[in-house]
Homo-oligomer: A and B are copies of this chain.
Amino acid sequence: MTTQIGMLLFPDLTQLDLTGPFELFCELPDSKVHLLWKDTKPVYADSGLGLLPTTALGDAPQLDLLFIPGGWGQMRLMRDEEILGFLRRHGEKARYVTSVCTGALLLGAAGLLRGYRAATHWAFMELLPLVGATPVDERIVVDRNRITAGGVTAGIDFGLHILAELAGADFAQRAQLQLEYDPAPPFRSGHPRVADPALVAAARRDLADTVEKRRASLPKIMASGHT
């Protein structure tokens, strides 16, 4: 049986949320990775990178693993019944329902994190309760079949976790060696708990508008009855 993996693309996604785990998922034996969007025309990331979907939503097989990346563009999808319906339909039956970064908020808007512990990008953690999830300040959070990861580069750790889950620890370690994932960040600034507080304050100010817009709209989305 082929493991069907579906990764949602959308305009203004953060491409590294997706391309990190994608590189790892593609290593899995007996599996097929679908890059999903409404059609198969190019989708442009928030950074301008043009990516080609492989599979239109309507052509997707029942997914064993559903994956949602983050990015500014997801706010538009939270009122899009085609997308929410797709996520709910596959999310209810999938063996794993997963996200990286703010992808968790879209999963939540589809009702798929209600009553679950979850992670998201550090700057958006406080919004998780608005979709019924309990924020957990960890890089990867596993609650039953929901596996959610922190911001952007957490997707690589997440991808290795999924490989270990689906193909075993030896397989995941081999993939880690192939990708030379022996990280050596030049700074210790990758999370508020280790970064300079002044830097964190400045980054929070940069993101404040985005966070506030979501804080205002998420309760309306959740109350709209769609979920």
Contacts and interface: CB of A to CB of B under 8 A. Distances in A.
Interface stretch (A87-95, A105-113, A180-188, A211-219): A180-188
Contacts of A19: 15-16, 19-20, 49
Contacts of A174: 189, 199, 202-203
B52 A51 contact: yes
B153 A16 contact: no
A19 B139 CA distance: 21
B185 A203 contact: no
Contacts of A193: 182
Interface of A: 14-16, 19-20, 22-23, 26, 33, 35, 42, 47-52, 54, 101, 121-122, 139-140, 150-154, 156-157, 160-161, 164, 169-170, 172-174, 176-187, 189-196, 199-200, 202-203
Given A176-B195, A177-B190, 19 more contacts: A15-B23, A16-B22, A22-B47, A42-B42, A49-B52, A50-B51, A50-B52, A51-B52, A152-B180, A157-B184, A157-B185, A157-B186, A160-B187, A164-B186, A173-B187, A174-B199, A178-B203, A182-B190, A183-B183
